[in-house]
Amino acid sequence: MKKKHLTATLLLSLLLVSPAIQAQKKLLPAEQEIELKYGADRLGKRQDAAMQKFRDNRLGAFIHWGLYAIPGGEWNGKTYQGAAEWLKSWAKVPSNEWLQLMDQWNPQKFNAKKWAQMAKESGVKYVKITTKHHEGFCLWPSKYSQYTVANTPYKKDILGELVKAYNDAGIDVHFYFSVMDWSHPDWRYKINSEEDSVAFQRFLTFTDNQLKELATRYPTVKDFWFDGTWDASIKQNGWWTAHVERMLKELVPGVTINSRLRADDYGKRHFDSNGHLMGDYESAYERRLPDPVKDLHVTKWDWEACMTIPENQWGYHKDWSLSYVKSPVEVLDRIVHAVSLGGNMAVNFGPQPDGDFRSEEKELSSFIGKWMKKNGECIYACDYAGWAKQDWGYYTRKKDEIYMIVFNLPYSGQLTAKTPKGVQIAEATLLNGQSVKVTEVARNEYNIGIPTQTPNEPFVIKLKIKTSDSPVSKYKEALT
């Protein structure tokens, strides 16, 4: 990764390009790469068992739970439409006033085993929990902060209970951690002076301590998902992000880390100044997904998207009628969309202040769970198939099996499948084994018959394929 120096102009243009756009740019030719101390640690996907498990899980739940659940988007009688977990900022509430919400933190309906059972029934293989969101309130009794569950009427270690319950249910736990901490006097958005620099170094030590505490108190954690890392202060301290990744990997062997943590020597985030992914997987797809035709570059690295059910509410908001709320099938569509491009999907839940889930979330969870129970084999351990996207839905692949996940039924009664060169479709079946008619209609093009009784929800057709390097073809190209 060390090579000639770039011209100042080229470097400046690299620094200005956003991660998503940069991701679409071609990598620099090796001889033009610049020397980086804090760039990517590795080229290409991680291939070890822990990473494979992360990848095979494919479907996860995100949990945003903190003090913001108590006001639920409402402050002093006024309802704010923005994300509920940002209410402190929308309503300009000073930290000392906001943190008094701790006196009301007493979720009497919280039952970690019930949460784990709900997760299990929803088919998720992992849960990402907000250990600490931007407000600074910790769901574990951190000895480095007074703003923790230990100092609330509830007192108990919520995070510890959840880790145990999820793990007992066979579900991996991932820790969301916001580096930006509005409760801490040493947090800085930007380093403008020597004094800022000293304060911010203290803040980084505090953060290291909290991270070490999490890693050692809960050693079964499988992933750290960093957030609140976009400010200039972090970009000015790229060294620290590389250090945190190394530190956590030493403390928790196999742990995975998202790209959002990282900034390189020049403050470039997610992808370093040479265009290489930092961290183990890309994590910038938030409430949006790559285009299944134009953005195939994402299949080159591991990635995980996260999605809210309303348009943009992560924490509990009392009033979901203020924005569009996705239907269960729309959420399912996004899950399948992500897997079809080799990504994971974490669907967000924002539990109520009493520790229960709102009815819409319970219904969604149960819908996804029932669908996954019948059709999960086209999601878990599946990957990008490499076949041209068709309008009826998405393909996924597991070894030599190709899955067609049908979301839109065409009036023609036929689903078009176009195979890559040298690949033929030998057989098609529903997941219950029932045969589906396959008709070859042109070179590398097939009609797959729609089963006479289609379920009232997206369904799956499994294709068995044959491959030959030099297929004999009866088709002739048109002379034009």
CB nearer to ligand FHN: give 81 or 197. Answer: 81
Specify the residue, 83 or 159, whose C-beta has the smaller distance to ligand FHN.
Answer: 83
Taking the complex as a whole, the smallest distance from the CB of residue 310 to ligand FHN amounts, in Å, to 13
Restricting to residues 80-109, name those near ligand FHN by CB under 6 A: 83, 85-86
68 binds ligand FHN (CB under 6 A): no
Query: What is the per-residue DSSP string for 133-159?
Result: -TT--BSS--TT-S-BGGGSSS-S-HH
Beta carbons within 10 angstroms of residue 439's beta carbon: 11
Total chain residues near ligand FHN (CB under 6 A)? 8
* Cα 384 off chain centre by: 17
Residue with Cβ nearer ligand FHN (129 or 423): 129
Q: 445-449 and 414-418 as β-strands: parallel, antiparallel, unpaired? A: antiparallel
Nearer to ligand FHN by Cβ, of 79 and 414: the residue is 79
Q: Cα separation of 352 and 358, whole Å?
A: 7
Residues 6 or more apart in contact with residue 89 via CB below 8 angstroms: 134, 182
In the complex, the smallest distance separating the C-beta of residue 30 from ligand FHN, rounded to whole angstroms, is 33
Q: How far apart are CA 454 and CA 52, in angstroms?
A: 34
Decide if residue 172 touches ligand FHN (CB under 6 A).
no
Let me know if 192 is exposed, middle or buried by CB neighbors in 10 A (0-12, 13-18, 19+): exposed
Binder to ligand FHN among 306, 339, 385, 448 (CB under 6 A)?
Answer: 306
Residues between 446 and 465 with contacts to ligand FHN, criterion CB under 6 A: none
Taken in order 234, 239, 240, 242, is the CA torsion positive or negative? positive
Q: Is 227 in the site for ligand FHN (CB under 6 A)?
A: yes
Minimal distance in Å, beta carbon 239 to ligand FHN?
23
Give me the least distance between CB of 203 and ligand FHN, in Å please: 18
* In the complex, least distance from residue 402 CB atom to ligand FHN, rounded to whole angstroms: 32
* 433 φ, ψ (degrees, to nearest 5): 95, -15
When asked if residue 314 is in the footprint of ligand FHN (CB under 6 A), the reply is yes
H or E element in which residue 51 lies: helix 49-57
List the one residue out of 227, 192, 220, 185 whose CA is nearest residue 206: 185
Query: Structure tokens of 300?
Result: 């080159």
Q: Which is nearer to ligand FHN, 229 or 375 (CB)?
A: 229
Q: Write the binding mask 360 to 399 for ligand FHN: x where contact by CB under 6 A, - elsewhere.
A: ----------------------------------------
* Of residues 270-289, those binding ligand FHN (CB under 6 A): 286
Interface residue list for ligand FHN (CB under 6 A)? 64, 83, 85-86, 227, 286, 306, 314
